[in-house]
Structure 1
């Protein structure tokens, strides 16, 4: 997802196997003088993806004399809301980063707005590099449901959520790194007692709903996730897991762990709050990792959510080629370059989770730790995707309903009923 955020699950073996695979050669589009590759993505310039893709643009232009890349940085929300309209016009880019999942890439594929990449994935070897849960989000069936069917997107990184914490603030107040749920709540109680709101939050975007989903995941299992995300069973929003998530989230607001004023806060604001040392804890994704490496001026660390075998995560956002793209062959070549060892290694050493890097080439200690934690998580089948994925329009429902929990204008039971209604309305009828 985003600076964002955001089927079978990737296993550690699959990830390591994909890391060891050699890159296929980048094709050269000779005779393309005067052409322009129109590229959209929403990753920050200091993020691992931003750094890697900037280098990919340089390499692309070097390999394609006479071709210029016209890069336009877009916001996650901007693309999320306008993609169907833009892609149905003559203003569509040649290649674009887009959110993965049934409600986003799946919906666009069902509407016929994306190019079928199956032949390219086979010919260029992407299907050998992208496996397991990372591959799940690449393929969509005729109903736009992920996990099977044609290739409509290519993720060249993986992602997962974790707890980022300010070691200096924890040390200042004599708080140890939490390893259990009880220790986490005890740590937050200590910060509240010192007048500090412990959790950075963004109620206006994805972050708040991801806190709540993680709380639910701590009481869930794989079959629960598959029922919710893949329709392999009935989803009951008043079950034990969802009820725990909603009630605990509301309780955390009351206890001061989450600010009641965070309803209008965006993810960028929450991230900056952590960077500036104002918030001791941020629960969010690996997409922040590279930026925190660059901008944090304090000692910091990460740990997986305590007491849970599941957390939010998947393959990263997708490179998609719009149906109306004017230079599709150039778009395929650019994707190929982002899958090369050179770019994958660069991504890995800048705080990303690459899918086709050489493990020996990842030398940065924090990056090694990031990838090791991902291997731990994927090794226990722990990637649970994201709460907004199952049905079209669910992201906006989750944002608005979770804001009501934060303000206290809606009780957990009513919140869960609202989610049930929107979810049931959107699930494909079979």
Structure 2
């Protein structure tokens, strides 16, 4: 993979607003005592080429530090993982360690089915609560009553995530746009300018993946100031509320408007991966997606990252994101020795060595670096860290909307496709999403 730009130093204070500094952990010098020959089966969602390189490197180092232990890894796409994980575990097969989506659809359902084991013992043992704040760990908590954000903790994440706006400065300048948009109104004007020039404003792919959903969520939450976030928090954490809001309606209208000429031709026939590859190659002005694309977009020095700018008058608009899918221990870890080995693996995934490896590859680690002066950070990640600092300092990290109910991902994705095709009005879309949520809330009360 081509790596560009100069080296940057990660300041120790970066990420500190949300995540506490790392306690010094000498991982390679502290292997699991008495570890016997054993195979750990792991599933993860690191399927992009640069992600695969990192996780394979980390697994090899874990094996080297644990003589006799073998990692049997399977990489699955987000959708593949979601479709197969619960079913496989329910049959008594599958991984001992797996990434899992934190929302009701996946983690909440698996906790209810007793397919995951709490990790609070390892939080205390390894001091993960000193590395990640309580508000972040809460995103991996589910109570026995099906309450999100409270109760035992079932996972830990190694990467931070934001859904933001990538922009190609060269493409913008060629269209007569000298600077990235400062407000949402500026973004709308820039898109109109690009359309008039015949330049694709956004690279988009909808045949596979959730790029349209990320666009809708990012636009909607950018309209919510950090000081007004309680209603969204209540919805995501199952405390009630309504999706029938001006923000969601306006976002659905905007995405539908952009689908009429602001996306690349043929976007309905390509995947989000295809769209990202085309964007990395210099096609399109903007790409609205997550920081999981950093490693594969950094090859183009014209590509930069920013938060979706909020409308004028909105202070510290929310940014979709927080943490990546959580590492979890499944109920297939039957004995204490296997559980402890799995806990040690999770601890390595949030170690300084793992964080430094991800950062050097251009990805956003979920913990501060113990030795930031020893890590060469690619320029695109350096820009992203500045955004992360500002967002976390303002308490402006939002949520993934699909966390809100077990069926929300399908409801959002299926109906957004209809919105883009103009087969559904934005108002009907918002009503369908709200019905999904209200039905789920009613089922909780019956339970």
Of 360, 369, 382 in structure 2, the residue corresponding to residue 357 of structure 1 is 369
Q: Tell me: CA distance 1:57–1:365, structure 2 relative to 1, closer, same or farther (3 Å).
A: closer
Q: Superposition pairs for residues 338-349 of structure 1, below 5 Å?
A: 338-349=349-360
- In 2, Cα distance between the equivalents of 1:423 and 1:344? 36
Of 319, 328, 340 in structure 2, the residue corresponding to residue 311 of structure 1 is 319
Of 266, 269, 274 in structure 1, the residue corresponding to residue 271 of structure 2 is 266
Contact 1:388 1:398 in 2 (8 A): yes
User: Hey, what does 1:202 align to over in structure 2?
Assistant: 205
Q: Tell me: CA distance 1:370–1:356, structure 2 relative to 1, closer, same or farther (3 Å).
A: same
User: Hey, what does 1:3 align to over in structure 2?
Assistant: none
User: Hey, what does 1:332 align to over in structure 2?
Assistant: 343
Instruction: Give the Å deviation of 1:139.
Output: 1.8
Instruction: Give the Å deviation of 1:350.
Output: 2.0
Q: Tell me: CA distance 1:127–1:24, structure 2 relative to 1, closer, same or farther (3 Å).
A: farther
String of CA shifts for 1:28-79, please: whole Å, max 9, x gaps.
23554442111111213544x5444222212211111122111112121111
Ranges in structure 2 where 5+ consecutive residues have no aligned partner: 1-13, 311-315
Partner SS for 1:301: strand
Instruction: Give the Å deviation of 1:297.
Output: 3.8
String of CA shifts for 1:251-287, please: whole Å, max 9, x gaps.
2223x12358434542212211211222221111111
- In 2, Cα distance between the equivalents of 1:275 and 1:147? 37
Structure 2 residue 49 is the aligned partner of structure 1 residue 43: no
Q: Tell me: CA distance 1:44–1:79, structure 2 relative to 1, closer, same or farther (3 Å).
A: closer
Structure 2 residue 282 is the aligned partner of structure 1 residue 277: yes
User: Hey, what does 1:4 align to over in structure 2?
Assistant: none
Partner SS for 2:259: helix
Q: Superposition pairs for residues 27-426 of structure 1, below 5 Å?
A: 27-44=30-47, 46-47=49-50, 49-176=51-178, 177-203=180-206, 204-220=208-224, 221-235=228-242, 237-254=243-260, 256-258=261-263, 261-293=266-298, 296-307=299-310, 309-325=317-333, 327-354=338-365, 355-358=367-370, 359-364=372-377, 366=379, 367-426=381-440
Contact 1:205 1:265 in 2 (8 A): no
Contact 2:264 2:284 in 1 (8 A): no
Q: TM-score, normalised by structure 1?
A: 0.89
User: Hey, what does 1:5 align to over in structure 2?
Assistant: none
- In 2, Cα distance between the equivalents of 1:62 and 1:12? 30
- In 1, Cα distance between the equivalents of 2:19 and 2:102? 22
- In 1, Cα distance between the equivalents of 2:75 and 2:239? 37
Instruction: Give the Å deviation of 1:92.
Output: 1.6
- In 2, Cα distance between the equivalents of 1:158 and 1:169? 28
Instruction: Give the Å deviation of 1:182.
Output: 2.2
- In 2, Cα distance between the equivalents of 1:291 and 1:134? 26
Partner SS for 1:155: coil
Partner SS for 1:345: helix
Partner SS for 2:114: coil
Instruction: Give the Å deviation of 1:225.
Output: 1.3
Contact 1:309 1:382 in 2 (8 A): yes
Structure 2 residue 437 is the aligned partner of structure 1 residue 429: no
Instruction: Give the Å deviation of 1:415.
Output: 1.2
Ranges in structure 1 where 5+ consecutive residues have no aligned partner: 1-10
- In 1, Cα distance between the equivalents of 2:218 and 2:159? 22
Contact 1:104 1:392 in 2 (8 A): yes
- In 1, Cα distance between the equivalents of 2:384 and 2:264? 29
Contact 1:260 1:406 in 2 (8 A): no
- In 1, Cα distance between the equivalents of 2:134 and 2:205? 31
Partner SS for 1:17: coil
